[in-house]
Amino acid sequence: MTDQHPDLDALRAANPDHWRRATAIRALTLDAVAAANSGHSGMPMGMADVATVLFEKHLKFDASRPEWPDRDRFVLSVGHGSMLLYSLLHLTGYPEMTLDQIRNFRQLGSITAGHPEYGHAPGIEVTTGPLGQGIANSVGMAIAEEILRERYGRKIVDHYTWVMAGDGCLMEGVSQEAITLAGHLELSHLIVMWDDNGITIDGKVSLSDSTDQKQRFKAANWDVIEVDGHDPVAIDAALTDAKKGKKPTMVACKTHIALGSSAQDTSKGHGALTDEKVIADTKRAYGWDQAPFEIPADLKAEWEAIGARGSEARAEWEVRFADLGQGKRGEFERTLRGDPARKLSATIKAMKRQLAESQPKVATRKSSEMVLEVVNPIMQETVGGSADLTGSNNTLTEGMGIFSAENRAGRYIYYGIREHGMAAALNGLALHGGIRPYGGTFFCFTDYARPAMRLSALMGVPVTYVMTHDSIGLGEDGPTHQPVEHLAICRATPNTNVFRPCDTVETAEAWELALTSARTPSVLALTRQGVPTLRTTFSNKNLVAQGAYTLADTTEGKRLVILMATGSEVEIAMKARDILQADGIGTRVVSMPCWELFEAQDEQYRKKILPPGPVRVAVEAGARMGWDRWLFGERGKRDKGAFVGMEGFGASAPSDELFEHFGITAEAVVKAARAML
């Protein structure tokens, strides 16, 4: 039936009330896209029936309290269909989603951006648009729900994550990482509604894909249900069934993109329908005769009743929540706000005090583990994991427990060889609330995780990426595994704090900042190889918070040289300083563990740390890109600067030999400084 041109009159006649409600979505979509003269009409037109049934009969929400923690999450993975979401939020009565906002679709300053942007308005659970991300974020959301349900009980946490995904989402590789992880973990509260419309931008899906999606999901341990995506009764039954399974469920919704328009079932229908006649004809076919943006009052009231459908459940939940013990309630609220544990600061300080004594020589990945060992016990909201490099990333600490289908109390996730899926899941864990996630892989595989890491930054979610093996210092694995440009990549990305600590003390301070961050993700670039403790004096203050600071200064005479370094190269800078100072050349070493935080300091502080006058040498086992800013860009006076680092890709050899081979040594730093004096 659904392969033929559907009979709209018959559909309307069969379920007139439903039809009218769904048509409101379609009409608002047509009007908003026409007004913006851009956007995507076809997906909301095709999935309006499924969305209507979902919101009317299944989604647990209360439009007046979008932040209700036990609401169902609705993820529009197919983000270009943003007007579907905006229409639903407007119709059901989310206060901020006014008709004016709909009218200003895709305009500067409106909350109705081209793709849903997290933070623009309540009800937008996640930023989507880059395909495949939403479905992968939803895995993290569903994991968060399982963990918190286990911790607080079904009376407090018991909700579903509903995802709308398109062919694009399912073609993206990250979707495979997501669904295999979800299937393995048996995330039964995760339901994906696949908009099976057979169309992509280039034409029919059959131009580029022949995948049996249903078989594919079954192979990933999912339940699969098929449904006619324009039959509200069938949809209702399918969504009802979907909630019953013990596995995640994929509901394949056979739909017609741009339903009822002349562009139906074509790639033209995927984009913006802006032709006046097409719009008029389509509305006529719907039996819709309202003026643009006009929703009849009774219909709006129907929709608002749907928006209020969950208010009773929400009120009951509040009573149950009030009945929780004060301790649990406080913990729930604190972790939902994202506040760190009260003990965190004191714990880090105690650790630093101890480190000033013990002065370990360890890899900073090991330092990171030492921090996690004291932090994880006092912050139950941390959920860690690694993309199959647990023993290398040092991300698992005692007592966390492994999260699995059998153990929902576990706080550590074996993500498998799925860096991208992991990063997207971390976003979902953070977005859900109540969880502060971190995940590890090799720094070089930032490349795989990139699309999701960018979204952490864009959404402003405080995920922590534990990126070990952060330079040629990893040695024999060679150039495929040796990051060179990755510090530049992360630093070029807005709203991302990139920490490259030089020792255990800086690692502890970096972790403290990561764990207290409210709206900025953190990347910890950590060594494979051992480094000495360089901050040998206890400091009450978190010096990494200033981004850069003077680690060692000129002891006598004029300051002629400033050496700037991060991570494992701070040790090299310190050795170079020893040589220079021995020759009577006054030398300061500035450790720069976080450029972004240094940039955020006032000019006075920056000038204090990097005063004009001395020649500057930067040393970092990575690409030069970005260093000129600190070598030259902030000067008030003519000075000279040089960079000691990588010019190309690395090589396969023992670490020490590589530093020699690529000339990243104290001697090279000394030579560069001398050449300018």
Helix, coil or strand: residue 118: coil
- The answer to whether the CB of 504 falls within 8 A of the CB of 449 is no
Rg (CA), the chain: 28
Q: Does 100 bind a copy of itself (CB under 8 A)?
A: no
Tell which positions 136-155 bind a copy of itself, by CB under 8 A: none
Question: Which of 419, 509, 571, 620 does the annotation list as catalytic?
Answer: 419
Diameter over CA atoms, the chain: 93
- The answer to whether the CB of 161 falls within 8 A of the CB of 189 is yes
> Which strands sit side by side in the sheet containing 249-254, from one edge to the other?
73-76, 161-165, 190-196, 249-254, 223-228
Only segment of 123-131, 334-342, 521-529, 561-569 that touches a copy of itself (CB under 8 A): 123-131
Tell which positions 47-86 bind a copy of itself, by CB under 8 A: 79-80
Annotated binding-site residues for thiamine diphosphate read 80, 129-131, 168, 197, 270, 445
Separation of alpha carbons 37 and 273, rounded Å: 8
Minimum distance of a copy of itself from residue 217's CB (angstroms): 9
Q: Does 510 bind a copy of itself (CB under 8 A)?
A: no
Is 634 annotated as catalytic?
no
Separation of alpha carbons 407 and 405, rounded Å: 6
- Looking at beta carbons only, is 220 or 227 nearer to a copy of itself? 220
Separation of alpha carbons 353 and 73, rounded Å: 44
Site string for a copy of itself, 451-470 (x = CB under 8 A): x--xx-xx------------
- Looking at beta carbons only, is 160 or 662 nearer to a copy of itself? 662
Q: Does 538 bind a copy of itself (CB under 8 A)?
A: no
User: Which is nearest to 661 in space by CA: 648, 675, 643, 642?
Assistant: 648
- Looking at beta carbons only, is 324 or 676 nearer to a copy of itself? 676
404's tokens:
């699995």
- Looking at beta carbons only, is 105 or 549 nearer to a copy of itself? 105
**Type of residue at 224:** V
Q: Does 312 bind a copy of itself (CB under 8 A)?
A: no
Pick the binder of a copy of itself from 462, 475, 586, 645 (CB under 8 A): 475
For helices 82-92 and 16-36, give the axis angle rounded to 10 degrees: 120
270: left (phi over 0), alpha (psi -120 to 50) or beta: alpha
Site string for a copy of itself, 603-632 (x = CB under 8 A): --------------------xxxx-xx-xx
Site string for a copy of itself, 377-396 (x = CB under 8 A): ---------x-xxxxx----
Annotated binding-site residues read 40, 80, 129-131, 167-168, 197, 199, 270, 365, 392, 445, 469, 477, 481, 528
User: Which is nearest to 425 in space by CA: 154, 184, 156?
Assistant: 184
Q: Does 131 bind a copy of itself (CB under 8 A)?
A: yes
- The answer to whether the CB of 571 falls within 8 A of the CB of 531 is yes
Minimum distance of a copy of itself from residue 451's CB (angstroms): 4
Report the Cα–Cα distance between both ends of the chain, in Å, rounded.
82
- Looking at beta carbons only, is 327 or 391 nearer to a copy of itself? 391
Tell which positions 632-671 bind a copy of itself, by CB under 8 A: 632-633, 635, 637-638, 641, 646-649, 651-654, 657-658, 661
Separation of alpha carbons 185 and 429, rounded Å: 15
Active site residues per annotation: 419
